[in-house]
Amino acid sequence: MALNDDALNLTPREAVPTAQSVRSQKRRWKPALLLVAILVFGGVVVTKFLSSAIDYYCNVDEVGVRSGCEGTRRLRVQGAVDEGSLKKAAGMTIFSMSFNKKTLDVRYDGDPGGVFQECIPVVAHGRMVNGVFLSDRIEVKHSNAYSTENKDRIDKAEAAACSLPKL
Protein backbone atom coordinates (compact mmCIF):
# COMPACT_ATOMS: atom_id res chain seq x y z
CA MET A 1 0.00 0.00 0.00
CA ALA A 2 1.48 3.37 -0.97
CA LEU A 3 1.22 6.32 1.39
CA ASN A 4 -0.15 9.55 0.11
CA ASP A 5 2.04 12.61 0.78
CA ASP A 6 -0.99 14.51 2.07
CA ALA A 7 -1.74 11.83 4.66
CA LEU A 8 1.61 12.40 6.40
CA ASN A 9 1.60 16.20 6.30
CA LEU A 10 1.96 17.21 9.96
CA THR A 11 2.48 20.95 9.52
CA PRO A 12 0.16 23.11 11.62
CA ARG A 13 -2.79 24.61 9.85
CA GLU A 14 -4.32 28.00 10.60
CA ALA A 15 -7.55 27.75 12.53
CA VAL A 16 -10.46 29.38 10.83
CA PRO A 17 -12.74 30.96 13.43
CA THR A 18 -16.29 29.81 13.23
CA ALA A 19 -19.25 32.06 13.89
CA GLN A 20 -19.92 30.19 17.15
CA SER A 21 -16.39 30.72 18.53
CA VAL A 22 -16.53 34.44 17.73
CA ARG A 23 -19.85 34.75 19.60
CA SER A 24 -18.53 32.89 22.65
CA GLN A 25 -15.48 35.19 22.81
CA LYS A 26 -17.76 38.23 22.76
CA ARG A 27 -19.97 36.70 25.46
CA ARG A 28 -16.99 36.25 27.80
CA TRP A 29 -16.44 40.01 27.90
CA LYS A 30 -20.00 40.91 28.86
CA PRO A 31 -19.94 39.25 32.33
CA ALA A 32 -16.43 40.59 32.95
CA LEU A 33 -17.50 44.14 32.08
CA LEU A 34 -20.62 43.79 34.22
CA LEU A 35 -18.51 42.59 37.16
CA VAL A 36 -16.09 45.51 36.77
CA ALA A 37 -19.00 47.98 36.63
CA ILE A 38 -20.54 46.50 39.79
CA LEU A 39 -17.20 46.66 41.62
CA VAL A 40 -16.63 50.29 40.61
CA PHE A 41 -20.16 51.26 41.64
CA GLY A 42 -19.77 49.42 44.96
CA GLY A 43 -16.45 51.15 45.58
CA VAL A 44 -17.99 54.58 44.98
CA VAL A 45 -20.92 53.85 47.31
CA VAL A 46 -18.65 52.54 50.10
CA THR A 47 -16.29 55.50 49.73
CA LYS A 48 -19.16 58.01 49.95
CA PHE A 49 -20.60 56.21 52.99
CA LEU A 50 -17.29 56.07 54.81
CA SER A 51 -16.40 59.68 54.05
CA SER A 52 -19.72 60.89 55.45
CA ALA A 53 -19.39 58.63 58.49
CA ILE A 54 -16.15 60.23 59.61
CA ASP A 55 -17.10 63.90 59.91
CA TYR A 56 -14.83 65.40 62.55
CA TYR A 57 -16.59 66.92 65.55
CA CYS A 58 -15.30 70.35 66.52
CA ASN A 59 -16.35 73.35 68.56
CA VAL A 60 -16.36 76.72 66.77
CA ASP A 61 -13.10 77.73 68.51
CA GLU A 62 -11.34 74.57 67.24
CA VAL A 63 -12.05 75.04 63.51
CA GLY A 64 -8.74 75.58 61.73
CA VAL A 65 -6.82 75.18 64.99
CA ARG A 66 -7.16 71.61 66.28
CA SER A 67 -5.88 68.61 64.36
CA GLY A 68 -8.80 67.05 62.45
CA CYS A 69 -10.68 70.36 62.39
CA GLU A 70 -8.98 71.73 59.29
CA GLY A 71 -11.21 73.71 56.99
CA THR A 72 -10.45 71.38 54.07
CA ARG A 73 -12.52 68.44 55.34
CA ARG A 74 -16.13 67.80 56.23
CA LEU A 75 -16.92 68.78 59.82
CA ARG A 76 -19.60 68.81 62.48
CA VAL A 77 -19.29 72.14 64.28
CA GLN A 78 -20.94 72.87 67.61
CA GLY A 79 -21.77 76.31 68.98
CA ALA A 80 -24.62 78.58 70.03
CA VAL A 81 -26.54 80.64 67.46
CA ASP A 82 -25.64 84.28 68.09
CA GLU A 83 -28.37 86.67 69.11
CA GLY A 84 -29.40 89.00 66.28
CA SER A 85 -27.50 87.05 63.62
CA LEU A 86 -30.33 84.94 62.17
CA LYS A 87 -31.40 85.99 58.65
CA LYS A 88 -33.27 84.26 55.84
CA ALA A 89 -32.67 85.17 52.22
CA ALA A 90 -33.21 83.43 48.88
CA GLY A 91 -34.05 80.09 50.49
CA MET A 92 -30.97 80.19 52.73
CA THR A 93 -30.65 80.51 56.48
CA ILE A 94 -27.70 82.71 57.42
CA PHE A 95 -26.44 83.02 60.98
CA SER A 96 -23.32 83.09 63.09
CA MET A 97 -22.55 80.70 65.90
CA SER A 98 -20.07 81.07 68.74
CA PHE A 99 -18.19 78.97 71.24
CA ASN A 100 -15.47 80.09 73.70
CA LYS A 101 -15.59 83.66 72.33
CA LYS A 102 -14.91 82.55 68.73
CA THR A 103 -17.50 83.15 66.01
CA LEU A 104 -18.20 81.33 62.74
CA ASP A 105 -20.46 82.51 59.90
CA VAL A 106 -22.80 79.76 58.69
CA ARG A 107 -24.89 79.42 55.53
CA TYR A 108 -27.55 76.70 55.50
CA ASP A 109 -29.40 75.89 52.28
CA GLY A 110 -33.01 75.80 53.40
CA ASP A 111 -34.89 76.28 56.64
CA PRO A 112 -33.66 74.22 59.62
CA GLY A 113 -37.23 74.23 60.96
CA GLY A 114 -38.27 72.73 64.26
CA VAL A 115 -37.04 74.53 67.36
CA PHE A 116 -34.08 76.21 65.62
CA GLN A 117 -33.72 79.76 66.90
CA GLU A 118 -31.19 82.24 68.22
CA CYS A 119 -29.36 81.57 71.49
CA ILE A 120 -29.54 77.77 71.45
CA PRO A 121 -26.71 75.28 70.92
CA VAL A 122 -26.66 73.61 67.52
CA VAL A 123 -24.42 71.30 65.51
CA ALA A 124 -23.92 72.24 61.86
CA HIS A 125 -22.64 69.63 59.37
CA GLY A 126 -20.74 70.84 56.32
CA ARG A 127 -17.52 72.35 54.96
CA MET A 128 -15.58 75.60 55.21
CA VAL A 129 -15.55 77.54 51.93
CA ASN A 130 -13.85 80.96 51.75
CA GLY A 131 -14.15 81.52 55.50
CA VAL A 132 -17.86 80.63 55.65
CA PHE A 133 -19.22 77.31 56.93
CA LEU A 134 -21.59 75.88 54.28
CA SER A 135 -23.92 73.56 56.15
CA ASP A 136 -26.16 70.88 54.70
CA ARG A 137 -27.57 69.65 58.01
CA ILE A 138 -28.41 71.28 61.34
CA GLU A 139 -28.98 69.44 64.62
CA VAL A 140 -30.64 71.21 67.51
CA LYS A 141 -29.68 70.20 71.05
CA HIS A 142 -33.10 68.80 71.97
CA SER A 143 -32.22 65.37 70.56
CA ASN A 144 -32.09 62.85 73.42
CA ALA A 145 -29.35 60.81 71.74
CA TYR A 146 -27.20 63.91 71.26
CA SER A 147 -27.87 65.09 74.83
CA THR A 148 -26.90 61.74 76.34
CA GLU A 149 -23.69 61.36 74.32
CA ASN A 150 -22.50 64.97 74.61
CA LYS A 151 -23.64 66.24 78.01
CA ASP A 152 -20.41 68.16 78.74
CA ARG A 153 -20.52 69.94 75.37
CA ILE A 154 -24.15 70.97 75.91
CA ASP A 155 -23.37 72.37 79.36
CA LYS A 156 -20.53 74.51 77.94
CA ALA A 157 -22.65 75.68 75.01
CA GLU A 158 -25.60 76.59 77.22
CA ALA A 159 -23.34 78.54 79.54
CA ALA A 160 -22.10 80.56 76.55
CA ALA A 161 -25.52 80.99 74.91
CA CYS A 162 -27.62 84.16 75.04
CA SER A 163 -29.89 85.00 77.92
CA LEU A 164 -33.11 84.25 76.01
CA PRO A 165 -35.47 81.69 77.55
CA LYS A 166 -34.37 78.11 76.88
CA LEU A 167 -36.66 75.52 75.30
Q: Report yes or no: 104 and 97 within 8 Å, Cβ to Cβ.
A: yes
Asked, for residue 67, whether it belongs to a domain, the answer is yes
First to last CA, the chain: 113
Residue 164 has pLDDT above 50, yes or no: no
Q: Are residues 64 and 146 in the same domain?
A: yes
**What digits encode the pLDDT tens for the residues 107-149?**
998 888 878 888 889 999 999 899 899 999 998 866 455 555 6
Q: Are residues 83 and 131 in the same domain?
A: yes
**What digits encode the pLDDT tens for the residues 1-46?**
555 656 677 777 777 766 666 566 666 778 888 899 999 999 888 8
CATH number at residue 141: 2.40.50.140
Q: Are residues 34 and 62 in the same domain?
A: no
Asked, for residue 1, whether it belongs to a domain, the answer is no
Q: Are residues 72 and 32 in the same domain?
A: no
The domain in which residue 41 lies consists of 19-54
Q: Are residues 89 and 142 in the same domain?
A: yes
Task: Collect all residues with Cβ–Cβ distance below 8 Å to 41 and sequence separation of at least 6.
Answer: none
Instruction: Kindly tell me the burial class for residue 94, based on how many C-beta atoms sit within 10 Å of its own C-beta (0-12, 13-18, 19 or more).
Output: middle
Q: Are residues 74 and 152 in the same domain?
A: yes
pTM: 0.57
Q: Are residues 81 and 102 in the same domain?
A: yes
Burial letters 11-41, b for 16+ CB under 10 A, else e: eeeeeeeeeeeeeeeeeeeeeeeeeeeeeee
Q: Are residues 71 and 46 in the same domain?
A: no
CA distance 61 to 101: 7
